[in-house]
């Protein structure tokens, strides 16, 4: 069995959402605890598509809260630069909430995971029964590579965007730490109330 506590999960959010996350955890938009002042950073058109996308288990992708298995994703590039009609967000305003596969298991959360972007037709969907083989199912080299454009591997971008999808709200106790672009952002997160020892600067995880 792979070391699931060492397979990390990354969810990006606007820094202004951190106070709510510290109090309520990462909440689904339909939750009674949803953040009514949520600051979005994603592609609204893609979110709409995901909300209506049916998974193999019959549930809609929009029922799940998504995480990536690695940082510095194509979506982060879009968010920072403002492509695809997405308003640009400065790196300093983007925070990674980091958990692990093992932590999700320990909390008894319902999840599925994919070996690529969840709505890509080439991506396969997997359940907890497949975790024993997760290191083979996922291309961890592509996931952690800083770049995804490769004329010799046109599928690399899809594999880099493999997802871990969790049903319902995720308690703040599931978050192992927070990663920021610089010290100023780190100080803000700590001042919001996060444990200083759990907030780290990782500038290389940004563009």
Residue 49 in this model has a pLDDT that exceeds 90: no
Spatial strand order of the sheet with 8-14 comes to: 125-126, 111-114, 163-167, 64-68, 8-14, 94-100, 177-180, 199-201
Domain extents in the chain: 4-205
Please write the tens of the pLDDT for every residue from 166-193.
Answer: 999 999 999 999 999 999 999 999 999 9
Give the span between the Cα atoms of 66 and 167, in whole angstroms: 9
* pLDDT value, residue 44: 77
Q: What percent of the chain has pLDDT over 90?
A: 92
- Confidence band for 1, pLDDT divided at 50, 70 and 90: confident
* Cβ partners under 8 Å of residue 2, min gap 6: 131, 132, 134, 135
């Amino acid at each position: 069995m792979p070391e699931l506590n060492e397979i990390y999960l990354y969810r990006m959010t606007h820094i202004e959402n951190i106070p709510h996350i510290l109090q309520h955890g990462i909440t689904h938009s339909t939750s009674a605890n949803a953040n009514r002042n949520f600051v979005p950073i994603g592609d609204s058109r893609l979110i709409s598509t995901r909300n209506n996308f049916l998974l193999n288990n019959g549930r809609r992708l929009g029922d799940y809260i998504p995480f990536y298995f690695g940082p510095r994703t194509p979506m982060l590039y879009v968010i920072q630069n403002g492509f695809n009609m997405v308003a640009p967000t400065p790196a300093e305003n983007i925070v990674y909430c980091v958990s692990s596969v093992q932590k999700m298991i320990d909390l008894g959360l319902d999840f599925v995971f994919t070996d690529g972007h969840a709505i890509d037709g080439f991506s396969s969907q997997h359940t907890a029964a497949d975790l024993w083989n997760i290191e083979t199912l996922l291309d961890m080299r592509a996931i952690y590579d800083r770049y995804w454009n490769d004329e010799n591997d046109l599928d690399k971008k899809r594999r880099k965007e493999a997802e871990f999808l969790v049903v319902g709200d995720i308690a703040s106790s599931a978050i192992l730490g927070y990663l920021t672009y610089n010290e100023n952002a780190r100080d803000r997160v700590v001042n919001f109330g996060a444990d200083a020892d759990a907030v780290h600067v990782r500038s290389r995880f940004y563009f």
